[in-house]
Amino acid sequence: MLARQNPQLNKNGELIHLLSTEGLSREILTHILDTASNFVSVSDREVKKVPLLRGKSVFNLFFENSTRTRTTFDIAAKRLSADVFTLDIGRSSTAKGETLLDTVANLSAMAADIFVVRHSESGAPYLIAQHVAPHVHVVNAGDGRHAHPTQGLLDMYTIRHYKKDFTNLSVAIVGDVLHSRVARSDIHALTTLGCPDLRVVGPQTLVPESFSALGARVVHNLEEGIRDADVIIMLRLQNERMSGALLPSSQEYFQNFGLTPQKLQLAKPDAIVMHPGPINRGVEIDSDVADGPHSVILSQVTFGIAVRMAVMSIVAGNEA
């Protein structure tokens, strides 16, 4: 019964869409991470391709600006040997008033197999998933403030790569948690994978107490929040999603919540520092930290290709 209630799963409990990390079991999350590990080495081959999606058509529908995510999805699909089409939204029919579902219906008529969707409205990928044919799969590349599941999964892959086991970790997510779809995806995945000590850290205006209901400890002091942490995930200030003055200034924010080499010493000696990007140097993170020995930010980008390959290969292999 639960499998039918989750729009991401078929009646057998298999993944057919990736819309959110919320509601996915530890087994499914682990299966995605294990599959991704098989794809990491593809980047080192002379011919960087495997034939798993040969003959399939992947449509990238990015209704919101993106460079890193769109590029890694594009690379991932091509390495799976798919035919990849990226819609120029600014010149598409949606800019002329066509509805989202009409756009998807027309593209479906062009024999689409996978839609990768980024949209400013929370829930847009869910809406599309409800209206596509049974053989078509939807992957959420970020919707509003709701979810960014592949970023969450590549974060989990990165943590597992460096720390091996989630069940004895202290993880701090620092910054603009309120507006962050990445934070929500990370929180759901970390709690499902058994992280026992999860902290969300930032000013009260950006880290409301309500996040404790998701299984995280709310902390409004950076030093307390990162003390003895194994993993620190820094978030950028999402000014484009803020309404009103939630912060006095970026300089004051950096003074109180920016991660510097001095503050980083409060964490475990082997702590890793992550960031979903793009980085605002001197706002949420000091350049000496972003480029320093604790940073695994560029590894996240590399692992992101393998994780997105894993997600697309898994959903495409399961029938609705």
Residue numbers belonging to the annotated binding site for carbamoyl phosphate: 68-69, 118, 148, 151, 277-278
Residues 201, 203, 209, 215: what is their CA dihedral angle, to the nearest 10 degrees? -10
* DSSP letter (8 states) at residue 267: S
Closest CA to 187 of 221, 210, 164: 210
Angle subtended by helix axes 26-39 and 149-163, to nearest 10? 70
What is the rounded CA–CA span in Å between residue 26 and residue 193?
A: 6
Pick out the residues of the known binding site for L-aspartate. Answer: 96, 181, 236
Alpha helices in 110-180 (DSSP H): 124-131, 149-163
What's the token pair of residue 211? 């996040």
For Cα atoms 59, 101, 19, give the angle at the middle one, nearest 5 degrees: 60
User: CA angle at residue 290 from 302 to 283, to 5 degrees?
Assistant: 125
Q: Please give the annotated binding residues, written as ranges.
A: 68-69, 96, 118, 148, 151, 181, 236, 277-278
Q: How many CB atoms lie within 10 A of CB 140?
A: 30
Report the amino acid identity of residue 3: A
> H/E element holding 84?
strand 83-86
b/e 165-190 (16+ beta carbons within 10 angstroms → b): ebeebbbbbbbbbbbbbbbbbbbbbb
